[in-house]
Every structure is written in C-alpha cells, then in structure tokens.
Amino acid sequence: PDVLMVAKDRAVRMAVIAHWLAKVETRLVGQLHMNMTGYLASRPAWQRWLRTLPMRWLFPYLDQIIGVSEGVVDDTVKITGMPREKVIAIRNPVITPELHAMAEAPVDHPWFRETVPVIIGVGRLSPEKDFATLIRAFSRVRKVRQCRLIILGEGPLLPELEALIAGLELQESVALPGFQANPFAWMKKAALFVFPPAWEGSGNVLVEALALGIPAVSTDCEYGPRETLGDGKFGPLAPVGDDAALAEAMLDTLDNPLPPEVLRLAVEDFTIDNSARRYLDVLFSHSPDG
C-alpha cells in the first residue's frame, strides 16, 4: 500500500518491525488514543520501563504519529523523544449526522417524565473513569438541590459503586441502568453532563454531550477535557478526585448553563468531515498523487 496507518502502541511497534522486514517504501503513520503516562502511572517502574522503552526505540522510524489531543501529542513526544513536528493532533471524528438522529429517540425512564433535573455520566465502570468521585459530588449537590443522577455503563466496579450509593443513602436518587446502545437519547434529555475521569486521551463522550448542546462539567485530567472545554470557557474544570470542587462546579452549571449553540461551537473541529479531511492530508501528504 501507499500508506499504512496503525493504531495503538503495540501494533505500531509491530508495524515498524514488519516495515523493516518487508523492505518497502510504504508511508507509515501511527495513531495513539491514550495518555500512556496516565495509563501506566499505577504500574511498577519496571512495567512502565518495559512498555515505553520499545516506543523510544521504534517510534522514531514512523513517518508521522497522530494523537487524538494536544495532550496525547505532548505525552508521546515526552515518552519517545521524537521531534515535535512528527507528532500531530487530529480530533476524533465524533460528531456525525447519526448522533443527532439517535439523540431524538424516546427514553423509557420515569425520571425524564418529571421536572426534577437529571445529571448524567457515561462510561465504563472502571478506575480511570472515577465515577466514585461523581457519586460523592452528587451527594453534596443533593443536600442543597433536588436532582437525580444516572450513570450509563458497565464494568468491574459496579458492586463497589452500588455499595457507595447505599452507604451514602442515595438509592432513591442514583440509577445505574447499565450499558445502553443509544446513550445519546439519555444525554439529550439531561440537564447536566459530568465527566469525572482520573486520566483520559481525549474524551469522546464529553464531545458528544457538547455537540448535543448539554451543559458539561469535567475533571481537569490529563489529557483532553481542558482542550475540549477551552480552558473552562465552555464548562468548568475541577481537580481530579476532588468531589467538593466537582460539586461546586455542578451546582454553578445547573444554575448558569451556557446556551446550546455556544456549546456546539466548542466542538466543531470534531465533525466527521473536518477530521476526515485532516487525516487525508496527513496520510497522503507525501504520496505521488497528493
């Protein structure tokens, strides 16, 4: 092929080796969705070294690396030592016509038939998403304002989160409906979207919420949310794991939501057309026909 694009670091490393063995002139482009430093932060030092050393050896042989955010780009440069001009950010093609069509579907949940504001979170119930902090923050919000919380998703921390909800006596105001094939319909009907991760690569679901015109709050994790929210211009950022600060941001946003048209403006770079155009520019920038 003229170009080979490979996603994720292990596959990228194998592609570099295959490129050597094949002795071809194929342009080789890697793609990373993950903040590797955040992902490896809890691992022992030897595991971090074992994962990142091959990246430092092999990634410089790529023609280009695409990260899904400027933060992922910075993290990749730091880990691999590659020249900054060989590592670029392209936004994920998150916003599609189907997104808005799916958001108009009905949702059979009684809370959406009432006037009490519903706060929503979406994601895998796993440590990096840190929904425990969201539940603690909601408990604070609930003490001063009537509202409800729905968290969509499934994962290994479900029993732990259910125990936390019970311990805080929130069973009547927090729901965990599990995986939903169409989360956009749920998000569209919410008063507030909250994105609480401990680390992130970009944060597609935050982009989707803003594209639907839903006011959003996020933790200021590495990387992605600060870029998406324009350093707080399009939604407040709270320190990671700080449920008191997150609760304050949630209350402020419920009281003073930004207009939907302003929120959609924040994520216009994430449309499928804009993203595809950028990918084509990078993939074929050195091809004979490009």
**In this predicted structure, what is the pLDDT of residue 289?**
42
**In this predicted structure, what is the pLDDT of residue 286?**
58
Q: Using alpha carbons only, how large is the chain's radius of gyration in Å?
A: 21
Distances (CA, A) of 164 to 101, 131, 193, 202, 271: 35, 10, 20, 28, 37
Helix (H) or strand (E) holding 68: none
**In this predicted structure, what is the pLDDT of residue 71?**
83
- Separation between Cα atoms, residue 67 and residue 30, nearest integer Å: 9
What confidence category does residue 38 fall into, taking pLDDT thresholds of 50, 70 and 90? confident
**In this predicted structure, what is the pLDDT of residue 9?**
87
- Separation between Cα atoms, residue 43 and residue 257, nearest integer Å: 39
Better-scored residue on pLDDT, 167 or 70: 167
Better-scored residue on pLDDT, 132 or 270: 132
- Are the C-beta atoms of 276 and 92 separated by less than 8 Å? no
What confidence category does residue 40 fall into, taking pLDDT thresholds of 50, 70 and 90? confident
What mean pLDDT comes out for the span 9-27?
A: 94
Torsion from C-alpha of 129, 241, 70, 92, nearest 10 degrees? 20
Mean of the per-residue pLDDT values for the chain?
A: 92
Task: Please determine, for residue 255, whether its predicted confidence score (pLDDT) is greater than 90.
Answer: yes
Any idea which residue has 């799916």 for tokens?
A: 102
What mean pLDDT comes out for the span 235-262?
A: 97
What confidence category does residue 285 fall into, taking pLDDT thresholds of 50, 70 and 90? confident
Residues 6+ apart with CB under 8 A from 36: 9, 51, 52, 55, 75, 76, 79
Distances (CA, A) of 188 to 36, 113, 182: 32, 14, 11
Residue at 274: amino acid letter: N
What mean pLDDT comes out for the span 92-118?
A: 94
SS3 222: strand
What confidence category does residue 281 fall into, taking pLDDT thresholds of 50, 70 and 90? very high
Residue at 133: amino acid letter: T
**In this predicted structure, what is the pLDDT of residue 290?**
41
* pTM for this predicted structure: 0.81
Q: What percent of the chain has pLDDT over 90?
A: 75
